[in-house]
Structure 1
Amino acid sequence: MKPRQFCRLWFNATEEDERARGYRKQCVKLLARVIGLEEDTVERWGSGIEFPGMPAQYENTLSYAMTIKRMLEEGGKAQRDIFLEVLKQLENS
């Protein structure tokens, strides 16, 4: 998944939202957090909201993150509790 599409879906943003002040900064923070990089690294991927310099290897990571987000939104509280338990187990491995 391309970074612009990822941010747009994550924030449920419109084209108008994408042009709003501060939107790119929100995307930088989100991308850095999801991928596990420093915000400065994401900033260096290019200006605007396309982030053309993002290495292709991160496209799968963004797709996985979006899939997990959708699953959690659809699954309700019980699904979130299960997911958090799985994350705890992974952290302890």
Structure 2
Amino acid sequence: MLTRTKRFINLETLQTVKPREFCRLWFNATDDDEQVRGYRAKCVQLLSRILGVKPETISSKWGEGIEFNQMPEQYEKTLAYANSLREIIDAAGKNPDLADLIIERMKSSH
């Protein structure tokens, strides 16, 4: 049986997510995974797609390494929202009833 939780995500109270944490969650990465060559490039591509920012901007203006310390703060809530959606999709993959409800809702919203 499917239980209901919050009906919507309130962006005003949504916690923020830092870019390194977001990439770790998205890729299910470990400390060792973060050391692999190309990991930062994967993060840049992911952040670019999620935030709609050019990869060159992220690479050249948001700081070295995988912390992206100079990312403008306004994007942290967007990352939190995207992470919430990822969690819903992951949960739907484990619960066929939830997956059916989500697909049904997506069809009816068009």
Using the size of structure 2 for normalisation, the TM-score is 0.72
CA contact (8 A) 1:72 1:79 kept: no
What is the aligned residue count?
A: 88
* Post-superposition CA distance 1:17-50 (Å, at most 9, x none): 0010000000000000000111011112011000
Shift of residue 84, structure 1, vs aligned partner = 4.2
Gaps of 5+ in 2: 1-16, 94-98
**Partner SS, residue 29 of structure 1:** helix
Match of 2:103 in 1: 81
Q: Percent identity?
A: 47
Letter in 2 for 1:34: I
Aligned-partner Cα distance in 2 for 1:7–1:64? 14
The structure that is helix-richer by fraction is 1
In structure 1, stretches of 5+ residues that fail to align are none
CA RMSD of aligned residues (A): 1.8
User: What is the one-letter code of the residue matched to 1:59?
Assistant: E
Question: What TM-score does the superposition give when structure 1 sets the normalisation length?
Answer: 0.85
CA shift, 1:83, in A, is: 6.1
